[in-house]
């Protein structure tokens, strides 16, 4: 059920590397991913600030960041709204970009593998395995966060700052395709198998195998997201 503009839940903030604005941004992501705010719903700065127990400044900063990442849209003289539901064209465009970037970062990372990278990948894989069947939103968010970290670790290991930065900029766009209607992960077993294949290829320091494993994972993921949207009656519309 959607929450009203002036009835957002209170949040107990913890330390955040990006400060208070970073905490507010994370809260906005949670609201969108959990479906507590719906596509095109207005987001009032002062209502958010009051509900979250902060001043308007970090809320405004968080909304500007969310606008840059595609999570919300900013309208001239109208403020901010939750971004509209992504369509099939956006899904295809996003995964075309991910395939272009991440097959290359996987190929490059295979030549830069060290014990630290493998340890990080194993940690994220184990986190996804442990949280994959959690029935609550906390488990859903933890699974997605670990998924983000898995791909980010590989991108950073590529040694190409610009490729890694481009992928990081896509983060919220990736999550939006699994946000508005369901806070569950239905393909966790397949994701774990595909991530394991990527880890194995990287561990073998085989660039071609790592590239192929990443390409297969992303292609399969695009297909699964399409199927999720069809199954819950919310298939993306063309355009």
Tell me the C-alpha distance between 44 and 66, whole Å.
14
The two structure tokens encoding residue 125: 């894989």
The two structure tokens encoding residue 141: 């968010």
Choose among 129, 165, 134: nearest CA to 146. Answer: 129
> Cα 127 from chain centroid?
16
Tell me the C-alpha distance between 33 and 21, whole Å.
18
So what's the pLDDT on residue 11? 43
So what's the pLDDT on residue 62? 92
So what's the pLDDT on residue 233? 56
So what's the pLDDT on residue 90? 86
Q: What is the pTM of this model?
A: 0.77
Counting as low any pLDDT under 50, the low residues of the chain are 1-17, 180-181, 183, 235-239
So what's the pLDDT on residue 2? 37
Query: Where do the domains of the chain lie, and which CATH numbers do they carry?
Result: 19-82 (1.10.10.10), 88-231 (1.20.120.530)
- List alpha helices for 110-206, DSSP H: 115-131, 137-157, 161-169, 171-176, 188-203
So what's the pLDDT on residue 75? 87
Tell me the C-alpha distance between 41 and 43, whole Å.
7
So what's the pLDDT on residue 100? 97
What kind and span of H or E run contains 43? strand 42-43
């Amino acid at each position: 059920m959607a929450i009203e503009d002036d009835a957002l839940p209170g949040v107990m903030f913890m330390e955040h590397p990006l400060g208070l604005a970073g905490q507010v941004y994370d809260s906005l992501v949670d609201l969108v991913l959990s479906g507590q705010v719906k596509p095109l719903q207005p987001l009032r700065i002062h209502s958010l600030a009051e509900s979250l127990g902060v001043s308007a400044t970090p809320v405004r900063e968080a909304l500007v960041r969310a606008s840059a990442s595609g999570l919300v849209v900013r309208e001239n003289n109208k403020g901010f709204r939750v971004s509209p539901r992504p369509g099939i064209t956006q899904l295809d465009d996003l995964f075309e970009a991910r395939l272009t970037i991440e097959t290359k970062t996987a190929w490059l990372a295979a030549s830069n593998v060290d014990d630290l990278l493998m340890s990080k990948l194993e940690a994220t894989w184990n986190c996804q395995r442990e949280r994959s069947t959690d029935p609550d939103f906390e488990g859903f968010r933890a699974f997605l966060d670990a998924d983000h970290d898995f791909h980010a670790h590989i991108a950073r290991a590529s040694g190409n700052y610009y490729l890694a930065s481009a992928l990081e900029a896509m983060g919220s766009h990736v999550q939006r395709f699994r946000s508005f209607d369901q806070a569950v992960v239905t393909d966790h077993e397949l994701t774990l198998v595909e991530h394991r294949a990527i880890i194995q290829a990287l561990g073998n320091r085989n660039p071609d195998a790592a590239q192929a494993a990443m390409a297969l994972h992303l292609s399969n993921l695009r297909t699964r997201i399409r199927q999720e949207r069809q199954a819950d009656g919310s298939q993306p519309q063309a355009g």
